[in-house]
Each structure stands twice: as structure tokens, then as C-alpha cells.
Amino acid sequence: MTPDMTAFSRNTQLSTRIAAHLLAQIEADGLAAGTRLPTEAAMAREFGVSRAVIREAIAQLRNEGLVETRQGAGAFIVDPTARPIRLDGAQDMDNRAFQHLFQLRAPLEIEAAALAARHRSADDLARITAALARFDHPEDSADSSVAADLDFHRALAQATGNPYFVQFLTAISDRIAHVILAARAETPLDALHAQTRREHGAICDAIMARDSGAARAAMRAHLAGGAQRVGLRLDIFEE
């Protein structure tokens, strides 16, 4: 799985580019389900990046349901028949596509937050708080915050106890990543991290308290804030 270039430019989103390259290589080579990807160390040498960047690339593929990671064993390709719906063309997203995405996310994730508050287990809460903590202790790559953000929303979807929420959120995770990257172009990274951390924290507190109403309100505020950070207004209709 040798990359087409010796190293990737340091001024771009390395993990996102590497994740896209790995996916293209998996599809081009027709690698079978269960095939183990090269080790982090091997891929870091081939791509000319740190192991932290490789971890974030693998995390993006995992969040899209394309690979699974096994503790102490590495990353493995997932059977295509077991993968959730995968959408095309995220690289072409514009403001109109962002607006459409937020219109989909609002009913999906607001209700997911409420269900998570009602049904979450101790294990679910541990996953949510672990993703939240990654904003407090980022790794040596700014890319880690993208994976932490996606992990937070995926953990929340898992806490609903409804696998359809996980499947639909997985299907749009690469688009959510594009929104995060677009927000970075408009907001200083430290300020963006602080805003996201506060919003995620409010959602987590409501889920921890099993307060479905507060969880809905906190997720609504988070999505409205996310839309505002890319120059959009999110219209959420309530009875």
C-alpha cells in the first residue's frame, strides 16, 4: 500500500488526505474483508508523517464503517456487505450542501441526544466522556480534534441503543468532517476547540443526568453554533 508521493504537505489536513488515499488503495487493490492494514509505524514511514496522523486517518475510516480496530492487533477491512450506506462527493460540498447536511442532522441528532439521555449505559457514558476528554488533551496533531469530534457524536448515537442512528451518522461522518474543516477556516483553532468543548460538555452533562429535555436543547444549541461557524443560519422548527 505504497503512497503515490513520498510525503504529504504539512500545511494541509494530513489525516483526511491519508484516509482518502487508503480508501482508494483498498478499493483499487480489491482487498478482502478481514485483511489487516499495515502497522502504524509502517504507514508513518511510507507517508512521511507521524504515527499520530496515521491514527487519526484510521479513526476517520473507522468512523465511516470502513475498517475496524482490534486492541493490540491493528486495523482490519470491514466486509462491504456489513458497511452502512456510503455517500459520494463530499469533496465537492459547498454552502448549500452544508445547509442540507445541517437540516438532516438537526432532527437526527437532537432526537439521538434525547434517547441517549434516557437509555445510556455506564459503558456508553464512558465512551462519550473519553471522546470529550480528547478535547482537553489533544495529541500532537490538530487533526486529532476532528476524530475526537466524530467519536463524540458516534458514541452518543451508540448510546441511543438504536443501531439505525449509528448507521446514518456513520454515513454522513465524512461530511461532518468537511464542516469542521470549513469552520477552521473561519475561526481560530483554539477558539473553535473551546466552543466545541463547551457545547459537547453541555450535551454530556445532560446525558449524564438522564435529562432528555436538556440533552435536546444542548444538541440544538450545538448544531446551531456549528452552522453559524460556517456562515449559516439553522432553522429548527418547534411546536
**Residue pLDDT, tens place only, 9-59:** 343 478 878 888 888 887 777 777 788 888 999 999 989 988 888 988 888
CATH number of the structural domain spanning residue 37: 1.10.10.10
The residue out of 82, 115, 139 marking a domain boundary is 82
Collapse the DSSP code of 23 into the 3-class scheme (helix H, G, I; strand E, B; otherwise coil) and give the result. Answer: helix
pLDDT class for 142, splitting at 50, 70, 90?
A: low
Give the type of residue at 66.
L
Residues 202 and 107 in one domain: yes
pLDDT of residue 228: 93
- Please tell me the distance from the alpha carbon of residue 167 to that of residue 1, in angstroms, as a whole number: 28
Sign of CA dihedral 145, 228, 181, 207: positive
**Which tens digits make up the pLDDT trace of 152-171?**
999 999 999 998 898 888 88
pLDDT averaged over every residue in the chain:
83
Residues 136 and 172 in one domain: yes
Q: pTM of the entire structure? A: 0.68
Residue 186's CB is within 10 A of a number of other CB atoms, namely 11
pLDDT of residue 10: 42
DSSP classification of residue 35: P
Residues 140 and 196 in one domain: yes
Residues 68 and 163 in one domain: no
Percent of the chain, pLDDT > 70?
85
Residues 64 and 120 in one domain: no
In a domain, 53, yes or no: yes
For the record, the C-alpha cell of 86 comes out as 456510503
Collapse the DSSP code of 87 into the 3-class scheme (helix H, G, I; strand E, B; otherwise coil) and give the result. Answer: coil
CATH number of the structural domain spanning residue 180: 1.20.120.530
In a domain, 234, yes or no: no
Residues 110 and 198 in one domain: yes
Q: Which value, in Å, is the radius of gyration of the alpha carbons in the chain?
A: 18
Residue 2 has pLDDT above 50, yes or no: no
In a domain, 4, yes or no: no
DSSP classification of residue 28: H
CA dihedral 225→133→156→91, nearest 10 degrees, is 60
The residue out of 27, 47, 82 marking a domain boundary is 82
Question: Which of 223, 215, 226 has the alpha carbon at shortest distance from 111?
Answer: 215
In the block, cell 491493528 appears at: 74
- Please tell me the distance from the alpha carbon of residue 99 to that of residue 4, in angstroms, as a whole number: 34
Residues 143 and 207 in one domain: yes
- The parent domain of residue 224 ranges over 94-229
Q: Work out how many domains the chain is built from and give that number.
A: 2
Residues 225 and 166 in one domain: yes
